[in-house]
Chain A
């Protein structure tokens, strides 16, 4: 009974009569019998039985890359909404300071927290630690891959699929400038974008350099929406709608699936605004199924 492939259960259903199984997620012990507590698919690994729900809030794991929205600026930490059962915590010591220097966080940093991330900013971060007992998630942005998500413009797309179900579509500005010889991947941003300026300024007047960098950090926001081509907007809209088609139809979202829907919509000569009409949505999917066969 338990070995049946893809067995669907509903809450209250008895999973197995045998008693030597361990219970995992979505399973509870009622009257000495393992019963399902959610509706989903039974999964069995050795002696561990669990039920996987087909729709639920984000269940975090250490190392997941997530996209979140800053909800609250608190003392020495930010609260980040990541579609989970609790808001995640990003502490001040878990970010890279804009000057890129590793040092203790001073009270000045604490005062400047809104300059780093303020309410409603979108950030990309990695899950660092989970405290199961208190149900707390800790994030970090200690790599330059992570951090604030800004609107930038250049001719190709940056797509981040957060494991928690949030996606970010934009065009990266600095990524094409990666120096491939530079082996330290985490530091490419500093090396290409900031370090040179910074060092130059530092040699002349360290104070002004500091100011300049802080100013740039703030100015970035005002650069939004500048030089955004029509073509670029069209691409972003099409990608967004491709993802939306997959999500509406409850399909697995991965880069290959997105690309297939994207290219299918182009070959069907659909405008991106028409992609979400039910008929067109079915056309996009049908075509995929044929390809598969």
Chain B
């Protein structure tokens, strides 16, 4: 299918959103029993499940760090998650890349020095991929870490944006992501608004457009933060209520 315009003259995108509109976000925390923390992050048709085990004893002794915890990341993309049924191997370049992004994003945010010689393992499972997968992964991991009760200095929120047809577009879906524009993925610390990681794909962008795009994405991140914070608070309240329900 040939798409002539990604934003029509009325300012609507192909899925009917406006330029700066996010997709519908749903968050579920603590659904898995066997892990310490888990979260499901749904953004439109993108659906990512993250789970966290730990801090626990390191499995591979040689990887232990003397004075802080070590983060291991495993990324799996379900074969049915994309339009083409392809199986990604564990050593695929894209898999390794996303693992290292996640590790580098969370290393400065988590208080790892509290758990010397331990391991925090993060598992990410992509159930549906429809654009913005990396961002959804980072958001899901943040929520799973919070659910596991692992101390972190701030929320990490991430969002994707693209510069397409001389428009800056927020929260891309699959069609927009593969359209050939410059894609920017940014993760920020919600409270201090510090950018922890950025990633550019297919980049040939004027400086002023880049600044505009970054501002847009950072704005998107803080809007996602509000939703994530809300969900966390609600979940904590639920836990507290049920815990104290039987205490007389």
Q: Which residues of B contact A55 (CB under 8 A)?
A: 30, 36-37, 147-149, 239
Whether the pair B116, A134 counts as a contact (CB closer than 8 A) is yes
Whether the pair B55, A39 counts as a contact (CB closer than 8 A) is no
Whether the pair A86, B153 counts as a contact (CB closer than 8 A) is no
Interface: A204 (CB within 8 A): no
Whether the pair B239, A250 counts as a contact (CB closer than 8 A) is yes
Q: Which residues of A contact B190 (CB under 8 A)?
A: 12
Task: Give the residue among A11, A79, A87, A289 with the most B Cβ atoms within 10 A.
Answer: A11
In the assembled complex, how far is the CB of residue A189 from the closest CB belonging to chain B, in whole angstroms?
32
Whether the pair B236, A8 counts as a contact (CB closer than 8 A) is yes
Q: With A39-B146, A87-B57, A257-B246 in contact, is A57–B240 under 8 Å at CB?
A: no
Whether the pair A252, B57 counts as a contact (CB closer than 8 A) is no
Per-position contact with B for A68-100: 1 when CB-CB < 8 Å, else 0?
Answer: 000100000001010001110000000000000
Whether the pair A251, B245 counts as a contact (CB closer than 8 A) is yes
In the assembled complex, how far is the CB of residue A247 from the closest CB belonging to chain B, in whole angstroms?
9
Whether the pair B243, A11 counts as a contact (CB closer than 8 A) is no
Q: Which residue of A lies closest to B30 (CB)?
A: A55
Choose the segment among A30-38, A101-109, A220-228 that binds chain B (4+ C-beta atoms closer than 8 Å): A30-38
Main secondary structure of the interface of A (DSSP, over half): loop
Whether the pair A10, B242 counts as a contact (CB closer than 8 A) is no
Question: Per a CB cutoff under 8 Å, which of B148, B229, B238 touches A10?
Answer: B229
Interface: A211 (CB within 8 A): no
Q: Which residues of B contact A57 (CB under 8 A)?
A: 36, 54-56, 149
Whether the pair A135, B242 counts as a contact (CB closer than 8 A) is no
Whether the pair A10, B233 counts as a contact (CB closer than 8 A) is yes
Interface: A41 (CB within 8 A): yes
How many positions in chain B have a CB within 8 Å of any CB in the partner chain?
A: 42
Interface: A288 (CB within 8 A): yes
Whether the pair B246, A85 counts as a contact (CB closer than 8 A) is no
Q: Which residues of A contact B116 (CB under 8 A)?
A: 133-135
Whether the pair B236, A54 counts as a contact (CB closer than 8 A) is yes
Question: Per a CB cutoff under 8 Å, which of B147, B151, B155, B233 touches A26?
Answer: B151
Docked Cα-Cα span, A56 to B55, in Å, equals 10
Per-position contact with B for A31-61: 1 when CB-CB < 8 Å, else 0?
Answer: 1000101111100000000000111110000
Whether the pair A40, B118 counts as a contact (CB closer than 8 A) is no
Q: Which residue of B lies closest to A83 (CB)?
A: B56
Q: With A11-B152, A12-B154, A86-B117 in contact, is A39–B236 under 8 Å at CB?
A: yes
In the assembled complex, how far is the CB of residue B232 from the closest CB belonging to chain A, in whole angstroms?
5
Residues of B130-152 whose CB lies within 8 A of A? 146-152
Interface: B237 (CB within 8 A): yes
Q: Which residues of B contact A171 (CB under 8 A)?
A: none
How many residue pairs at the A-B interface have CB separations less than 8 Å?
118
Q: Which residues of B contact A249 (CB under 8 A)?
A: 242
In the assembled complex, how far is the CB of residue B7 from the closest CB belonging to chain A, in whole angstroms?
34
Chain A interface size, as a band, is: 35 or more
Whether the pair A56, B117 counts as a contact (CB closer than 8 A) is no
Interface: A28 (CB within 8 A): yes
Question: Per a CB cutoff under 8 Å, which of A11, A246, A257, A288 touches B153?
Answer: A11
Interface: A6 (CB within 8 A): yes
Q: Which residues of A contact B147 (CB under 8 A)?
A: 55
Q: Which residue of B lies closest to A249 (CB)?
A: B242
Q: With A40-B236, A55-B37, A251-B245 in contact, is A11–B154 under 8 Å at CB?
A: yes
Q: Which residue of B lies closest to A257 (CB)?
A: B246
Interface: B1 (CB within 8 A): no
Q: Which residue of B lies closest to A86 (CB)?
A: B57
Whether the pair A37, B111 counts as a contact (CB closer than 8 A) is yes
Whether the pair A289, B245 counts as a contact (CB closer than 8 A) is yes
Q: Which residues of A contact B153 (CB under 8 A)?
A: 11-12, 28, 30, 35, 37
Whether the pair A12, B189 counts as a contact (CB closer than 8 A) is yes
Q: With A53-B149, A55-B239 in contact, is A10–B155 under 8 Å at CB?
A: yes
In the assembled complex, how far is the CB of residue B109 from the closest CB belonging to chain A, in whole angstroms?
9
Since A39-B232, A252-B243 are in contact, a sample of 14 more A-B pairs with Cβ atoms closer than 8 Å, ordered by chain A residue number, is A8-B240, A10-B146, A10-B233, A11-B155, A12-B153, A12-B154, A12-B190, A38-B146, A40-B236, A54-B239, A86-B118, A135-B117, A285-B245, A288-B246
Q: Sample 9 A-B pairs with CB under 8 A, ordered by A number.
A: A6-B240, A13-B191, A28-B151, A35-B153, A39-B146, A57-B36, A71-B57, A135-B117, A288-B246
Which residues does B use to contact A, with CB under 8 Å?
Answer: 30, 36-37, 54-57, 111, 115-118, 146-155, 189-192, 229, 232-233, 235-240, 242-248
